[in-house]
């Protein structure tokens, strides 16, 4: 996209209703419209816009002739606005403008709507026959950080020559039309739910919960054949009382096992029976209450060479490890046929050997008829790429295009996909706290945007609620809420509002946000 195109503050129309498709920029230009609906049907037109309402729930714009618009996505340089026209389905267009985070005041920038998608030609389309005088140049906001030299580009592109040039892989996509919304979840602790502030935050801001530790084998079967469901039952009761769905985490993992499993020595037949007993008792106990189960957690070797060798449930079984894995899923399916059964792993959100090994494992298990319904991507990531590496498998920040591509590739196997344990380390990002929070929000948009864009993505769960409870430590500012209390709950960070702006739901869209500090 050229600088002239940007300087004119061009908006690209992303039409969402029948009859208005066509090549981008191919329509005959029109003068400024008297009627927005008619102008768009006929082609493209320039118009002015300004915010007329700004609240936590929505930001509404007055577009030319008074038709209201609603923000449906936002990044540092781009904003997508949904317009409702009388007698017509709503549609969205993109506003390319500087400093879109700063919503106070009235805007009257001239923008242009086009049929179809974003123009791909390097030069702008033919200007309108009666062009308006462009507004004076707008000072650029802070340019995007430089690309890490070790990060492989997702596609060949020319390096930007102007700080006003928007990213070719924006962190916020236009709103996708979905069959059902993505649930925003959090891993929670029963002990922390006794804190009224923590409890209120979960109730007010999230759609689902995951038991952080209460459903692991050590908690549920501390002795062979002796099951203890008290704490897990209380979590499920809390979810039921507050209209939240529950993810079960996790049936079979190399960690958090009772000593009789970790140190056990059993025959293959005994291991098979232990697997059946654990799956049938646990999944059966919660049948109808838990929508998704992480049946098998973290089984792929970090270097992508094969499977891990430290999972006692798999390695104790012996023989072909796929036989043990198949038994786990089959036993869980028999205990609750309605539950969505997931395999779950980390550092598989971008293209690397471990992701390829994960894909082959899922593909091969499905080919054997194993009832895997769902593939989980833990998403323990960072806000700025340090480059890939086996020694630091989480040291990576995928682009929107890369993460979307990975999720879609797995979804094409016929499974649903979920982002299951998200958190974002901010320490690799230099600068002030405000700049770190802005980078944190940008990566949150990547997670939400990729999940929203893939129809098969049903869940985005964060591994905790507020920063001080993160397993990575409060200094990393990894989660969606700070420890500050506002209105009897923890305070949402920019990343929370960025996520809700894309996914919808919750208590509403973003409140006014000041421009990031330079």
Q: Using CA atoms, how far apart are residues 125 and 246, in angstroms rounded to an integer?
A: 50
How buried is 18 (Cβ within 10 angstroms: 0-12 exposed, 13-18 middle, 19+ buried)?
Answer: exposed
- Give the closest residue to 9 by CA, choosing from 108, 101, 103, 112: 112
Instruction: Give the DSSP letter of residue 233.
Output: H
Rounded CA separation 201/219 (Å) = 25
* Residues designated as active site: 298, 421
Q: Which of 484, 384, 508 shows the shortest CA–CA distance to 438?
A: 384
d(CA 416, CA 394): 23
**Eight-class DSSP state of 9:** T
Q: Would strands 481-486 and 489-492 be described as parallel, antiparallel, or unpaired?
A: antiparallel
Cα–Cα distances in Å, from 258 out to 227, 282, 405, 409?
Answer: 12, 15, 38, 36
Query: Do residues 297 and 250 make contact, with C-beta atoms less than 8 angstroms apart?
Result: yes
How many Å apart are CA 310 and CA 330, to the nearest integer?
Answer: 22
- Among 464, 491, 459, 481, which residue's Cα sits nearest to residue 192? 464
Q: Do 38 and 462 touch, CB atoms closer than 8 A?
A: no
| Straight-line distance from the first to the last Cα atom of the chain, in angstroms, rounded to the nearest whole number | 25
Half-sphere exposure of 346 (CA within 13 A, CB side): 19
Separation between Cα atoms, residue 448 and residue 74, nearest integer Å: 12
Q: Tokens standing for 101? A: 């985070």
At which residue do the structure tokens 């390695």 appear?
A: 315
Is the sign of the CA dihedral 305, 456, 83, 50 positive or negative? negative
CB 343 within 8 A of CB 372: yes
Whole-number Å distance between alpha carbons of 19 and 93: 16
Residue 327 CB coordination number (10 Å)? 19
Record the tokens describing residue 468, joined without a space.
Answer: 């001080």
As given in the structure block, the two tokens for residue 380 are 């323990």
Rounded Cα distance, 272 and 127, in Å = 71
């Amino acid at each position: 996209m050229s600088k002239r195109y940007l300087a004119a503050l061009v908006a690209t129309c992303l039409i969402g209703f029948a009859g208005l498709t066509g090549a981008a920029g191919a329509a005959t230009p029109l003068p400024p419209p008297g009627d927005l609906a008619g102008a768009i049907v006929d082609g493209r037109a320039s118009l002015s816009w300004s915010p007329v309402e700004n609240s936590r729930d929505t930001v509404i714009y007055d577009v030319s002739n008074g038709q209201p618009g609603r923000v449906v996505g936002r990044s540092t340089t781009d904003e997508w606005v949904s317009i409702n026209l009388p007698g017509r389905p709503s549609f969205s267009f993109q506003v390319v403008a500087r400093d879109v985070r700063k919503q106070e005041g009235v805007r009257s920038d001239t923008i242009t709507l086009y049929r179809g998608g974003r123009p791909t030609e390097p030069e702008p389309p033919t200007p309108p026959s009666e062009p308006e005088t462009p507004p004076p140049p707008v000072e650029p906001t802070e340019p995007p950080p430089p690309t890490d030299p070790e990060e492989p580009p997702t596609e060949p592109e020319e390096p930007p020559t102007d700080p006003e040039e928007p990213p070719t892989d924006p962190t916020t996509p236009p709103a996708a039309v979905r069959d059902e919304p993505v649930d925003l979840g959090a891993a929670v602790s029963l002990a922390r739910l006794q804190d009224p502030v923590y409890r209120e935050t979960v109730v007010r801001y999230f759609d689902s919960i995951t038991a952080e530790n209460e459903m692991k084998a050590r908690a549920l079967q501390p002795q062979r054949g002796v099951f203890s469901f008290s704490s897990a039952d209380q979590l499920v009761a809390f979810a039921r009382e507050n209209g939240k769905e529950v993810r079960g985490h996790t049936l079979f993992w190399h960690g958090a096992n009772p000593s009789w499993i970790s140190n056990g020595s059993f025959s293959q037949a005994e291991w098979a029976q232990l697997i059946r007993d654990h799956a049938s008792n646990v999944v059966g106990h919660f049948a109808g209450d838990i929508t998704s189960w992480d049946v098998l957690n973290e089984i792929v070797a970090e270097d992508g060479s094969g499977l891990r060798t430290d999972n006692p449930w798999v390695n104790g079984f012996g023989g072909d490890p796929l036989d043990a894995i198949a038994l786990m899923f089959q036993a869980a399916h028999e205990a609750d046929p309605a539950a969505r059964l997931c395999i779950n792993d980390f550092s598989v959100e971008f293209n690397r050997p471990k992701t390829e090994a994960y894909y082959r494992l899922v593909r091969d298990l499905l080919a054997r008829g194993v009832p895997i319904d769902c593939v989980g991507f833990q998403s323990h990531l960072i806000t700025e790429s340090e480059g890939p590496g086996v020694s630091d498998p989480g040291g990576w920040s995928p682009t929107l295009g890369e993460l979307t591509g990975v999720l879609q590739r797995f979804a094409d196997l016929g499974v649903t996909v979920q982002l299951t344990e998200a958190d974002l380390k901010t320490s690799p990002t230099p600068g002030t706290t405000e700049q770190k929070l802005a980078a944190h929000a940008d990566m949150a948009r990547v997670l939400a945007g990729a999940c929203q864009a893939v129809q098969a993505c049903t869940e985005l769960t964060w591994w905790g609620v507020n920063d001080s409870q993160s397993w990575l430590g409060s200094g990393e500012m990894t989660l969606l809420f700070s420890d500050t209390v506002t209105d009897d709950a923890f305070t949402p960070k920019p990343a929370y509002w960025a996520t809700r702006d894309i996914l919808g739901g919750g208590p509403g869209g973003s409140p006014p946000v000041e421009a990031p500090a330079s």
